[in-house]
Amino acid sequence: MKKTFALFLLKCVLLILPFLTLLGLYFYDDPFEVLHEYKDYYKSPVAVNEGYVGWQYYRMQRDSVKYNSFLLGNSCTMAFQAKDWEKYIPGGRAIRLYGSAERLGNIYRKVRALDAVQDSIANMIILLDYATLKQTQIGNISTHVLHPEVTGQSNWEFQMCFLQTFFNPDFWVPYVDYRVTGRYKRYMRGVINREEVERNCRSNDVYNPREKEIADYGELYWERHKKEFPERDTVRKVSPPIIMKKQFDMLSEMRDIFVKHGTNCKILINPKYDQVRLNPSDLKQLQDIFGAANVFDFSGVNEFTSDVHNYYEKGHYRPLLGRKILEAMYGKRDTIGIIP
């Protein structure tokens, strides 16, 4: 009987040992950088939650830096460097509070959170496009879940989101493989960062390593990455209407917060490589809410989207274009010419 029980215990230990090993690895490595506070984030090889890390930088430095200018939106915000924007906003101290594949629901809650803790919201740029406007719910997966300070969510609920992701074989298998071998493999895409990206902790700016590749190869860069630039249809395309009551209410509440703070807010419709134009009815609603002078539509076919040199690949445009857009928005050059 004793022998049978001992064998049973041994089997139980062997059964839970892999789980305990992974759990120990999770707490030891903190791969998502959410268990502890760090002076410098992005040291993990894992694709971390950009929105969480950005808010952490903001929390840790808001008393010393005294931020008053905020850039919100998706990863296209990488095209706007704080030092470039601050040239147009005297006294501005800017930080980028973006999220990967950001949703309107996330932006809305960040604006509300800033309203609750900020004495001054002097300047704001919000990047929007069809995909961003479409999503009004907040993200609930590890790459999109918001900082607990933004949502009011308990830290337990927040942490469980990351722990569940870690124990998914689609995550821990490539993570453990990379940790053991130190070599990136194609199947690790989406889990392990292939390239090390340079960042500015004060502004949360990011410097895409492809800029160096462009500097090294020049025109050859776009030939080398030709597959990342699909042929564009010559037929002019317009996205379907997307701003419904939920979106309208969120955008209107954000507008009211900006009025309260006297914010110089500019709404920027992304110049996406696919050249699909934001629906005119959506543009009209944005203009009605924020004022026509504060809404800048760079979507569709125009002088910026027509030049492939403005893009790293089909999903992201370069600071080269970001500086031109800032000039257009702040009146330092004529607005873009739409190609009919």
> 214-265: per-residue pLDDT in tens?
999 999 999 999 999 998 887 889 999 999 999 999 999 999 999 999 999 9
Sign for the pseudo-dihedral over CA of 112, 114, 116, 121 = negative
* Closest among 72, 68, 55 to 126, alpha carbons compared: 72
Q: Mean pLDDT throughout 63-88?
A: 94
What residue type is assigned to position 33 of the chain?
E
**Cα distance between residue 40 and residue 57, in whole Å:** 9
Token code pair at residue 10 = 């041994």
Indicate the length of the chain as a whole number. 340
CA 19 to chain centre: 32
Q: How is 67-126 classified by DSSP, letter by letter?
A: --EEEESSGGGGG--HHHHTTSSTT--EEE---TT--HHHHHHHHHHHHHH-S---EEEE
Residue 255 near residue 263 (C-beta atoms within 8 A): no
**Cα distance between residue 15 and residue 12, in whole Å:** 5
In the block, tokens 């960062």 appear at 193
Instruction: Give the DSSP letter of residue 192.
Output: B
**Cα distance between residue 267 and residue 133, in whole Å:** 12
CA dihedral 314, 318, 321, 322 (to 10 degrees): 120
> 134-193: per-residue pLDDT in tens?
999 887 788 888 999 999 888 898 999 999 999 898 998 888 888 888 888 888 888 888
φ, ψ for residue 206, nearest 5 deg: -125, 140
Kind plus residue range of the DSSP H or E element containing 297: strand 295-297
Which pTM does this prediction carry?
A: 0.89
> 31-54: per-residue pLDDT in tens?
999 998 888 888 888 888 889 999
Helix ranges (H only) for the chain are: 2-29, 50-65, 82-85, 104-117, 130-134, 148-151, 155-166, 169-181, 210-217, 220-224, 245-261, 280-290, 319-329
Q: pLDDT grade, residue 25 (50/70/90)?
A: confident
Token code pair at residue 214 = 């462009």
**CA dist 151 → 35, 80, 146, 254, 333 (Å):** 18, 26, 7, 16, 39
> 277-329: per-residue pLDDT in tens?
999 999 999 999 999 999 999 999 999 999 999 999 999 999 999 999 999 99
> 95-148: per-residue pLDDT in tens?
999 988 899 999 999 999 999 998 899 999 999 999 999 999 887 788 888 999
How many C-beta atoms lie closer than 10 Å to residue 154's C-beta?
A: 10
Residue 31 near residue 73 (C-beta atoms within 8 A): no
**Cα distance between residue 294 and residue 305, in whole Å:** 21
337 has pLDDT over 50: no
**Cα distance between residue 100 and residue 283, in whole Å:** 23
CA 197 to chain centre: 14
Q: In DSSP terms, which residues pair with 295 in a beta bridge?
A: 267
Q: In DSSP terms, which residues pair with 238 in a beta bridge?
A: 277
